[in-house]
Structure 1
């Protein structure tokens, strides 16, 4: 059994959450979609800490981040597929 690097909650999500320590740029991650237990591979392009997000596709500034199948915020900078998603490129829409 292989341990996943990234969890994605719903098929329509455009970000997933890193679930391993010390994820390094260039790693080919095993990504698991928890909704249906399907999986896919994705190369991460940055070092990403556990609990932070990774873009599952290229996402432009102004677009909505989807996690748990829900809107969790707005991108304030572009995020490339496999790139780190955190406070430098994603903000809440609450304020």
Structure 2
């Protein structure tokens, strides 16, 4: 839920960490989800094996 009025482009934090950017305005008390938030998720690792080891799942 929005604790304050939000504008498109505002960064959203959860537990002090950035999770996304508002894609459209939301009033205080509005539900925040994928209909008005774009995820800022950035993968922190790659699942491709590296270092010359050909591991198969």
TM-score scaled by length of structure 1: 0.41
Aligned residue for 1:71, secondary structure, equals: strand
Correspondent of 1:73 among 6, 13, 20: 20
Partner of 1:85: 32
Q: Which runs of 5+ in 2 are unaligned?
A: 43-57
Q: In the TM superposition, what whole-angstrom CA distance separates every residue of 1:6-43 from its partner, at most 9, and x where no partner exists?
A: xxxxxxxxxxxxxxxxxxxxxxxxxxxxxxxxxxxxxx
Matches within 5 A, 1:1-95: 54-94=1-41
- Structure number with the higher strand fraction is 1
Structure with bigger gyration radius? 2
Report the count of equivalent residues.
42
Higher RCO, 1 or 2 (CA under 8 Å, sep at least 6)?
A: 2
CA contact (8 A) 2:18 2:40 kept: no
RMSD: 1.4
